[in-house]
Structure 1
Amino acid sequence: MHDHQLTPRRRIRLTRLTSDAGLPHTGLVDATGYSRFKHGDAAVARRYAMALAALAARRLGDAPVRVTTSAFDRVPPAAHSLLAPFVQQLCTLRPDLTVTAFRVVRRGVSNGDYSRMALADRRSAVGADNLTPERDVRGALVLALDDIRVTGTHELAMDQCLLSAGVAQVRHLYIVDAHRFAGSPRIESVLNEAAIGGPDDLLAIAAGPRFVPNARFCRRVLALPPDQLSAFLRAAAPELRGWLSRAIEFDGLAGVSAYADRVRTWDAALADIDRTMGAGVG
């Protein structure tokens, strides 16, 4: 017999960050694996999702469960790659449960790299007023999957959004709890960048068999210096270049001040690649 709700703790985590040097180099959540996950390695995402599902399965009662991830507009964040394997594993471990997934829609995108923002900027970037559940969630028990908790700003916005929509309970599941470093939120960027030294690392992740591109991968490519961006574009598969171009368009990054110059650099580099390839064909 299971309890009828999660344990009183609001959060489940796979690990807690204990050092400002970053994550350890071994274990389920290691520095390289987490960084690769953040940039689209879905094989790592699956491992994290299955581990989170195992923890949740032991704490859930018999009430139906709705599962969601970080809110987004058009281009999903890394955390969204947790959703499908988490739901699949939870259903396997708890076939008695009714488990359904839903999305929280966010209007607009952050004006810059959220992981590098100070607390005040994070509060400006993410608010409950910009979030909307895509379906009726009144009375539901919601599990919200995310990669990391640092300041708790996104968690608070999700709580306000979901509770105002009539959700009965919200429980948050994280890969990393870094709230100890809430006063230095840029630690999040240290974790994100641990495995990314330049374009070759991004290309290696993209060449993997379980690559799922996401918003962070797109923005990290845009952040490359012009010479590295050109090298990336020359080596990238046409399908990847096409996806990145669509992601830039879908999220309207040309109209976001933090990205406008980078998008112009992208357009120029892409046009140069097209001219070079066209000349080669001729």
Structure 2
Amino acid sequence: MIPYTYSLHKIHHSNNFGFSADDYSRFKFGDDRVAKKFGKDLADGFIKGFLEDNQISEQIVVISSPYCFIPTATFAMKNYFVYQLNHWLVENGRMVVQEAKVHRTITYKDDYGALSAEDRIKLIGNDSFHIDKDFLRDKVLFFLDDIKITGSHEKMILKMVKEYELKNDIYMLYFAELANHDIHPNIENHLNYHKVRSVFDLDEIIKSGNFCFNTRIVKYILNCDFNSFSIFLERQTEDFIYNLYNLSLGNSYHTIDCYSGNLNFLKNYINNKNYKLI
């Protein structure tokens, strides 16, 4: 099956993206305000660029990028994409969208955005994606992701589609896509870390009033050096600290050696706080 692919921004130059690199970086580290803008812009662009001229009468199912327990940054963007798309669908007498989840079984510490196309396939090639085939029957599927660099995640989605023998019409929707393949795939990391250079740069995002956890920020915090981690933790609220620990366990990060030191400190930090309260 050949899916229809749409990307709002096509990247042809390594220093001109069509969107703010700082905003993209903030989005990847949990800025919900930017996620709202990106999701709304993607919906508006897809409506104008495709839906206005191509009627879809079947039930649409929107599916964010695969995750285990902690959603990816795309999940926040997906929420606002759905809100904006639903407005248009209702105004045009069509059914509002449904949602589904692609479950993934493996989590890894490697920074995906720094890898080559070949290394990306090696990293996620052993992963497996799972979805509720019966729920999707006779529906049109919109798979959302924030950026397409080498297409390795798309290949994994299409591998899942083949394994589950899905016969649905499929649309792959991206906020941005690397269109110039002379640019190295690590341009993704340039975007990811454009605004965030250390764990202390996260404070502005976390305390903005528009913060939501995602896999990237949790892994980034757990992976920083111990001194920075302990200082960073002292600056955070109790709710943030508890959420960080609970999400880490939910994604089985306690089984990854490079996170174990910081996670043990986090566990003791919580236990000591509880002990003092008692």
Shorter-chain TM-score above 0.5: yes
Separation in 1 of the partners of 2:173 and 2:182? Answer: 18
CA RMSD of aligned residues (A): 2.6
1:48 corresponds in structure 2 to: 38
Q: Can you list the C-alpha shifts for 1:69-112, whole angstroms capped at 9, x where unaligned? A: 11111111100112221111111012133211111111121342
Change (3 A) 1:134 1:209: farther
Counterpart residue type for residue 43 of structure 2: A
The one of 73, 81, 84 aligned to 1:78: 73
1:138 corresponds in structure 2 to: 137
Separation in 2 of the partners of 1:169 and 1:187? Answer: 31
Say whether the 8 Å CA contact 2:14–2:183 is kept in structure 1.
no
Give the percent of matched residue pairs that are identical in Structure 1 and Structure 2.
23
Does structure 1 residue 90 correspond to structure 2 residue 85? yes
- Residue 195 of structure 1 deviates from its aligned partner by 0.6
Separation in 1 of the partners of 2:100 and 2:274? Answer: 44
Say whether the 8 Å CA contact 2:8–2:46 is kept in structure 1.
no
Does structure 1 residue 16 correspond to structure 2 residue 16? no
2:264 corresponds in structure 1 to: 267
Separation in 2 of the partners of 1:200 and 1:209? Answer: 17
Say whether the 8 Å CA contact 1:131–1:161 is kept in structure 2.
yes
SS in 2 for 1:155: helix
- Residue 119 of structure 1 deviates from its aligned partner by 2.6
Does structure 1 residue 68 correspond to structure 2 residue 67? no
Separation in 1 of the partners of 2:133 and 2:171? Answer: 18
- Residue 279 of structure 1 deviates from its aligned partner by 10
Task: Report the TM-score, using the length of structure 1 for normalisation.
Answer: 0.84
Counterpart residue type for residue 143 of structure 2: A
Change (3 A) 1:87 1:76: same
Equivalent residues in 2 for 1:204-215 (5 A)?
A: 204-215=204-215
Say whether the 8 Å CA contact 1:10–1:172 is kept in structure 2.
yes
1:175 corresponds in structure 2 to: 175
- Residue 228 of structure 1 deviates from its aligned partner by 1.4
Task: Report the TM-score, using the length of structure 2 for normalisation.
Answer: 0.85
The one of 12, 26, 29 aligned to 1:39: 29
SS in 2 for 1:213: coil
1:3 corresponds in structure 2 to: none
- Residue 274 of structure 1 deviates from its aligned partner by 6.5
Any stretches of 5+ residues in structure 2 without a counterpart? none
Counterpart residue type for residue 10 of structure 2: R
Say whether the 8 Å CA contact 1:42–1:211 is kept in structure 2.
yes
Say whether the 8 Å CA contact 2:30–2:205 is kept in structure 1.
yes
1:106 corresponds in structure 2 to: 104
Q: Which deviates more from structure 2 when the two are superposed, residues 48-57 or residues 116-125?
A: 116-125
Change (3 A) 1:127 1:65: farther
The one of 57, 60, 64 aligned to 2:47: 57
Change (3 A) 1:75 1:9: closer
SS in 1 for 2:180: helix
Counterpart residue type for residue 217 of structure 1: I
Separation in 2 of the partners of 1:128 and 1:280? Answer: 45
Change (3 A) 1:167 1:216: farther
SS in 2 for 1:172: strand
Higher normalized contact order (CA 8 Å, seq sep 6+, divided by chain length): 2
Q: Can you list the C-alpha shifts for 1:187-212, whole angstroms capped at 9, x where unaligned? A: 21111000102233211111122211
Does structure 1 residue 161 correspond to structure 2 residue 160? yes
